Chains A and B, each alone.
Chain A
Amino acid sequence: MIMTALTTITIVITVTLGLLLFNSYSKSLMRLTLKDTDSLMDRTVSNLQGELLSMRNISNTVNYDLIHSLDVKNPQLMQQLGLLYESSRDSVVSIAIYSNEGSLIMSEPSLTQKEDPNVTRQKWFSDAAGEIENMHFSMPHIQNLFQNASDPYHWVISLSQSVDLTDGENPSTGVLLVDMDYGRIKEIMDQINETGDGKYYYLCNNKGELIYHPSLDQINRGLVKENSVAMATRVDGSYTDALKGSHRHNQVKTISYTGWKLVGVVPDNAISSSMKRFRYFILTAGGLLLMMLLGVNRIVARRISLPILKLNRSVRAYEAGEKPNIYVGGSAEIRYLGRSVQKSYEEIDHLMKQIVEEQNQRRKSEIAALQSQINPHFLYNTLDSITWMVEGGKNDEAVMMISQLARLLRISLSKGHTIISIADEVAHCESYMQIQRIRYKKRFTFQTKIDPQILSCCTVKLILQPLLENAIYYGVGDMDEDDGGQITVTGLMDGDEIRLTVVDNGNGMTKEELDHLLTEGEKVPKHGSGVGVLNVHNRIRLLFGPAYGITAESEPDEGTAVTIHLPAIPYSPETCRQMEQQMKNKGNSERS
């Protein structure tokens, strides 16, 4: 259970951490990539604008510093134009001035013009002639003006503007053309497209026509597509689009003077290679972490849960009545717990044995005390009475008393048996009362009224004698002969129960005294031990159960009736033996 819980927590934490880390990394990587793209584009825009501004400056210089001030036939114009061209030939392919009819007036370098270049139909010318107030940057195109066998198809971007020409006395208009080397733009763009990490940059005009694209040849042949038309209409900023199912981030920046757009494209898959590697890294780290945590979980579980389970099993087995050794193992705390439980059980065992032993001892001693209470006490009194008779010369009475005493002792001993018949018990009490009457000088009378059918039933021996003793001591013993003291023992069968009642008409008891009669509380002994009734009650309950025992009724100055309740069990030696064995077993089980 602990292992499962720990494993579940481990997996959830590992997976959650992995996902969070992956998500965070991918977002950071994309953010960083876009930031890099933006930064690179800013520098590129600056470079491109520098190139274009340089072209504009050349064009303006030719227009305002040369053409405005010099006649077209002035050789200085050609000379100045040549100097300007030489100073900027790295980026300028040619500078040419055309009349409004398309005739070449002059050019640098001085190359032979093609036979019929159709100048007026070329776009740069028509743009300049159409909108004379503006400078016009054309799309990249092959220069179709001059013969050049070594480089016949040079790609240029034409900057054209309408200019006012002075030809002697005749002012006219013409077109100034500065052909910029497209290679300059291409070089700048090629440099930023060299990364090969999936992202790329392209340049388009405000209609979306491509000026530069790293895959321009493929696009021209329809092998690749580009969203340049959509991006050309956007203001500077960041946009997302989808092309052939690939999600892409587009950064758009506008180039001054031209309205061209520099677009940086970062497809999602530009970072996919890094993300793929990072995904594998996360999975590897997650796998390792999971392996280690599972191992640690198992060790923790084995050190905590397994010892607890074993301890629990051994405790349950103990509770089920087995006698296993309580498990002692695992961590120090659990070992301590096991030892404590073991020690507790050993202590409980010891205490249980001690309690049982003590109870048995107590019971034995109580029984022994009870029995021993009777014999010496009674024997002393009887012998005292006999002595008194012999001294008084009452030999017959002494003989009778001795014979009664002998019968009493015989029944008391009963060959060591605890169970005797009611007949013997009644005989025992008659002997006892004969002896006592002589001792008390017959100041009271005694009679028995026993239902003959109960005489052959079982009873615990010597249960009537303590009651009779009490009846004498606390009832009629102090009465004069004239007072008519009387003690009667009755015995009858009531259903399955036998009732033996000792009734006296003596002093009786108060309610308080009666309530204390069968409790182990304070005793108010006047004579004897004062515990005789309670002993009898306990002995009966011990043998026959709590349904039986003694009840008592008394009225002060009226007398007392104490009734013994016994089950009606026919007496036989075999029954006697079985009941005594039952008592013995009961004592053993309580001990164990």
Chain B
Amino acid sequence: MEKWSRTIFFVVELILGIFTMTMAVRISADEGPQKKVAVIVEDSGNSKWNSYIKGLKDAAKANNLHLVICNTDNGLDLEEEKELMEEQRNKGVNGFILQPAVGKETESVLSGFHEPILLNASTTGRNFYGRYALVAPDNYRMGAALGQCIVKDYNGNLRDKSIGVVRGRKEDPAVEQRWKGLSDVVEKAGGKICWILDQRQDTAIAEEIRSRSTVSALAVLETDTLEDVADAAAAHDVHGAIVYGIGHSIKSVYALEREIIAGLVTADLYDMGYYSVQEMAQKLSFPGRELKDRSIDVLVPDKGELFTEKYQKFLSAMER
């Protein structure tokens, strides 16, 4: 009887001891650090990322994540991106949201990291695409929408119309896909793409355009390039061509409002940032869950609509 009583007493004390220790550990465990997510996009200080970064931050706050937005310059290469990722990994980040740097070794570099990786731009290889989730606008659709703008302004008939294309950086797969979308629509409408221009860092875009033949319309496929072409158009330095472009900056929108460009295709990058972090947060909370692709809506604002409630909200996110 006495032995039983003693055994029960010690068992109860042991259970209480384990319970108390667990609770004590939980007091401090509850104050544990937030999960960290590193974001690496090219030229992170560029105003074109304003709404994107706003989306990232809002989602990080809503999901209690610590966001590290890495400082990068224009022309981020694969080696720099790798170094940044390693540096962040050493600092204990739990996941990466990337605009993957273009290069042949991109796949092997990314496969060297075991943290979850979510991409904000598609990459080159077919096999590579699909291994990582992609939250981005559909670049083919954006290119096609730009083509539709041109076709619409010419009443659906581009016969006898010459079109020049300014692609930005040649090797960017996103631009490549936009180009495909654009060319499919233009050719279908009977238009002729006279030349394709890949912007070089060391040459002013106006000079490049002036060196080419005169065209009826210019289609610009990248934000930075569009801003440069808009500046040239404002200076009447594009041989009178009507400019259309894909861009995500305030400057692009302002160019549309001032009718420097005739058509603009954009995407709500706030959504891209927001959904990227939200997806990553879910992955970090439930490691067994797979990251999922998400396509961001493509917007084609009309000049007359810019001050409507819909586009004021869109512009609101673009302001830092």
A contact set with B: CB distance below 8 Å: 3, 141-142, 144, 147, 149, 152-153, 155, 196, 215-218, 220-221, 223-224, 273, 276-277, 280-281, 283-284, 287-288, 290-291, 294-295, 298, 306
Contacts and interface: CB of A to CB of B under 8 A. Distances in A.
Contacts of B16: 287, 290-291, 294
A287 B2 CA distance: 25
Contact of A221 (B9, B23, B270): B270
A149 B307 contact: no
A149 B31 CA distance: 47
Contacts of B253: 152-153
Interface stretch (B110-118, B189-197, B311-319): B311-319
A291 B257 CA distance: 75
B109 interface: no
A218 B20 contact: no
Interface string B1-21: 010010001001100110110
Nearest to B314: A220
Contacts of B235: none
Contacts of B55: 217
Contacts of B19: 283, 287
B22 to A, nearest CB: 9
16 contacts: A3-B5, A149-B254, A152-B253, A153-B319, A215-B62, A216-B316, A218-B274, A221-B270, A277-B27, A277-B30, A277-B31, A284-B27, A287-B17, A287-B20, A287-B23, A298-B9
Interface string B244-279: 000000100110011000000000101100100000
A141 B312 contact: yes
Contact of A291 (B13, B250, B270): B13
Contacts of B184: none
Given A221-B271, A294-B16, A280 B316 contact: no
A273 B58 contact: no
Nearest to B18: A287
B26 interface: yes
Contact of A153 (B2, B254, B274): B254
A280 B317 CA distance: 41
A215 B23 contact: no
Query: For chain A, what secondary structure do more than half of its interface residues adopt (helix, strand, loop), or is it mixed?
Result: helix
A276 B23 CA distance: 11
A472 B232 CA distance: 172
Contact of A217 (B12, B27, B54): B54
B57 to A, nearest CB: 10
Contacts of A284: 20, 23-24, 27
B270 A280 contact: no
Contacts of A215: 58, 62
A149 B62 CA distance: 34
Contacts of A152: 250, 253-254, 257
Contacts of B317: 217
Contacts of B316: 155, 216-217, 220
A215 B63 CA distance: 13
A15 B250 CA distance: 61
A141 B31 CA distance: 41
The interface size bin for chain B is: 35 or more
A155 B312 CA distance: 10
Given A153-B319, A218-B58, A218-B274, 16 more contacts: A3-B5, A142-B307, A152-B253, A152-B254, A153-B318, A216-B316, A217-B55, A218-B62, A221-B274, A277-B27, A280-B27, A283-B19, A287-B23, A291-B20, A298-B9, A306-B2
A223 B312 CA distance: 17
B5 A280 contact: no
A299 to B, nearest CB: 11
Nearest to A298: B9
A21 to B, nearest CB: 15
Interface in B183-227: none
Nearest to A3: B5
Closest 3 CB pairs of A and B: A287-B20, A220-B313, A284-B23
Interface string B158-181: 000000000000000000000000
Contact of A288 (B20, B58, B318): B20
Contacts of B54: 217
Contacts of A217: 54-55, 58, 270, 313, 316-317
A497 B197 CA distance: 153
Contacts of B270: 217, 221
B12 A294 contact: yes
B267 to A, nearest CB: 13
A400 to B, nearest CB: 85
A283 B257 contact: no
A390 B258 CA distance: 184
B257 to A, nearest CB: 7
A215 B318 CA distance: 15
Nearest to B259: A115
Contact of B315 (A142, A147, A291, A294): A142
Nearest to B315: A153
Contacts of A283: 19-20, 23
A127 to B, nearest CB: 16
A273 B30 CA distance: 8
Interface string B49-83: 00000110010011000000000000000000000
A142 B312 CA distance: 7
Contacts of A294: 9, 12-13, 16
Contacts of B12: 294
Contacts of B2: 306
Contact of A280 (B30, B274, B318, B319): B30
Contacts of B258: 147
B250 A153 contact: yes
A144 B307 contact: yes
B145 to A, nearest CB: 20
A364 B191 CA distance: 152
Contacts of A280: 23-24, 26-27, 30
Contacts of A290: 16
Contacts of B23: 280-281, 283-284, 287
Contacts of B13: 291, 294-295
Contacts of A153: 250, 253-254, 315, 318-319
A401 to B, nearest CB: 82
A200 to B, nearest CB: 11
Nearest to A224: B62
A281 B27 contact: yes
A288 B250 CA distance: 62
A221 B9 CA distance: 60
A380 to B, nearest CB: 75
Contacts of A306: 2
B151 to A, nearest CB: 26
A510 B218 CA distance: 163
A404 B123 CA distance: 154
Interface string B278-320: 0000000000000000000000000000010000110111110
A284 B58 CA distance: 36
A142 B310 CA distance: 12
Nearest to B64: A196
Nearest to A278: B27
Nearest to B271: A221
A306 B5 CA distance: 11
A142 B250 CA distance: 13
Contacts of A298: 9
Nearest to A290: B16
A291 B27 contact: no
Contacts of A142: 307, 312, 315
B34 to A, nearest CB: 11
Contacts of A220: 313, 316
A152 B250 CA distance: 8
A283 B27 CA distance: 10
A276 B30 contact: yes
Contacts of B24: 280, 284
